[in-house]
Amino acid sequence: MKPVKTLLSEQDMPKQWYNIQADLPTPLAPPYHPATMQIVTPEQMNVIFPMSLIEQEMSDKRWWEIPDEVLQILALWRPTPLQRAYNLEKALGTPAKIYFKNESVSPAGSHKPNTSVPQAYYNKKEGIKRIATETGAGQWGSAMSLATNMFGIECTVYMVRVSYDQKPYRKSMINTWGAEIFASPSTQTESGRKILAEDPDSPGSLGLAISEAVEDAAGRADTNYALGSVLNHVCMHQTIIGEEALRQFKAIGEKPDVVIGCIGGGSNFAGIAFPFLREKMAGMDVRVLAIEPASCPTVTKGVYAYDYGDMAHMAPIVMMHTLGHTFMPPSIHAGGLRYHGMAPTVSRVVEDGLVEARAITQLECFESGVLFARTEGIIPAPESTHAIRGAVEEALIAKEEGKEKTILFNLSGHGHFDMSSYDAYFAGKLHNYRYPQELVDEALKHLPKVG
């Protein structure tokens, strides 16, 4: 029997998060306040975030202790397996070894609880009674509901309408964990009502749902906001993925030649990639590859500039890759990858040449996703099929070149709540779409002038 999974015991679970800000070749540019257009202060951020997370957000301290209470909850499913995809390798006829980090095993079905749990913990500790947040595909909203429930605080989720309609059982899941959920645009907020007045059938966007959640949180003293990606502390919480993977590769005496993740806001990619980037900066021979959807090509077609984090100018202005905050993406099914911007840390490592980015159209992603389901069993989330497709492409290059190569990708989540996307794929209702450059150019006329 060939060994399939490399496990870590709970005792060997990483006890610290890695903050890549400590090692960036070029430091991050500071965020600006969307109203004052001045560099945002910790006190201003404290309106919607707890101080402990703001401290993490703005720090260049390399290692952060993971609180015991957080580890105790993560241990319900972590450490996650590092899994060798023998059957996929065989189906591709590649000499490459393909490994994946299986983040689909969390109760919410993705990597998202890695950060929702500490976010709920720090908010609870600072006396917050309620969290308002948004969700794209539903992965983040589920994860936040799971976490707030564990710490006995309330949660309201604004879910991008197109996903809300495609995935009715995300709502049921979020309700089961005791949270409430609204389709965004909603009538709950000024930002939502404004869009609904213009277009009652608006499919929504992550940028808009963020506006609704931030507005909700800013308006109530007992309520904070929580973001599931993009921010520095969110990316840092996810580094437990890559730290585990490093330990697991060490245990089997191997090392990946290429590390692959999909990018929407950037957090699952940061999670698997940043620890390897640290090793790369210290001399490890490893390529790092970020895959984004061609329908929302933030890094490959956007610009690296200051932009608003949301549609209604409620969130800070940050330096990042952006398609423009007015970007209203087409209703593609990989809902979690439909954000106009990108995590500033991820954008920074791309700019510094440490990371390659590639855009892939969705039919190819679903094709590889179905191949993965039929070979390795697990039905992947549509977002994760982008990482799988990246791994497949790298494996096929290895086959062409007749080279052995070790590939690692992050399986960010399963697709149990995305089956309508698979139905649409099998019914031939999905099409490839490349976001046109002229629409990008138009949107980029509306960038804020700061910095």
Contact call for residue 439 and its own copies (CB under 8 A): no
Q: Which of 75, 251, 252, 284 binds its own copies (CB under 8 A)?
A: 75
Q: Is 169 exposed, middle or buried (0-12, 13-18, 19+ CB in 10 A)?
A: middle
Contact call for residue 2 and its own copies (CB under 8 A): yes
Residues 171-190 that bind its own copies (CB under 8 A): 172-173, 175-178
The Cα angle at residue 436 between residues 433 and 439, in degrees rounded to 5: 130
Eight-class DSSP state of 28: P
Residues 402-421 that bind its own copies (CB under 8 A): 416-417, 419-420
Q: Which of 20, 379, 387, 443 binds its own copies (CB under 8 A)?
A: 379
User: What's the residue count for the chain?
Assistant: 451
Residue closer to its own copies, measured from CB, 10 or 60 = 10
- In single-letter form, the type of residue at position 350 comes to V
Residue closer to its own copies, measured from CB, 71 or 234 = 71
Q: Write down the residue that tokens 């698997």 correspond to.
A: 272
Cα dihedral 184/189/194/198 (nearest 10): 30
User: Considering CB under 8 A, how many residues would be counted as binding its own copies?
Assistant: 47
Question: Please, are residues 319 and 306 in contact by the beta-carbon 8 Å criterion?
Answer: yes
Contact call for residue 5 and its own copies (CB under 8 A): yes
Q: Which of 423, 431, 436, 442 binds its own copies (CB under 8 A)?
A: 423
Rounded to whole angstroms, how far apart are CA atoms 311 and 123?
25
Rounded to whole angstroms, how far apart are CA atoms 354 and 342?
16
Q: Which of 38, 41, 72, 437 binds its own copies (CB under 8 A)?
A: 72
Residue closer to its own copies, measured from CB, 60 or 423 = 423
Q: Is 106 exposed, middle or buried (0-12, 13-18, 19+ CB in 10 A)?
A: buried
- In single-letter form, the type of residue at position 383 comes to E
Stretch that binds its own copies, among 169-177, 224-232, 263-271, 316-324 (CB under 8 A): 169-177
Contact call for residue 68 and its own copies (CB under 8 A): yes
Residue closer to its own copies, measured from CB, 71 or 210 = 71
Residue closer to its own copies, measured from CB, 59 or 420 = 420
Residue closer to its own copies, measured from CB, 13 or 359 = 13
Give min distance, CB of 271 to its own copies, in A.
19
- Both structure tokens of 170: 């995300």
Contact call for residue 95 and its own copies (CB under 8 A): no
Contact call for residue 206 and its own copies (CB under 8 A): no
Rounded-to-5 percentages of helix, strand, coil across the chain: 45, 20, 40
Contact call for residue 426 and its own copies (CB under 8 A): yes
Q: Which of 45, 71, 128, 288 binds its own copies (CB under 8 A)?
A: 71
The Cα angle at residue 29 between residues 27 and 33, in degrees rounded to 5: 150
Stretch that binds its own copies, among 52-60, 123-131, 376-384, 389-397 (CB under 8 A): 376-384
Stretch that binds its own copies, among 8-16, 56-64, 202-210, 350-358 (CB under 8 A): 8-16
Distance from chain centroid for Cα 147: 17
Alpha helices (runs of H) in 58-177, residue ranges in sequence order: 68-74, 86-92, 113-125, 139-150, 161-166, 168-176
Question: Please, are residues 293 and 362 in contact by the beta-carbon 8 Å criterion?
Answer: yes
Chain residues that interact with its own copies, rule: CB under 8 A: 1-5, 7, 9-11, 68, 71-72, 75-77, 83, 87, 105-109, 146, 149-150, 168-169, 172-173, 175-178, 370, 373-374, 376-379, 416-417, 419-420, 422-423, 426
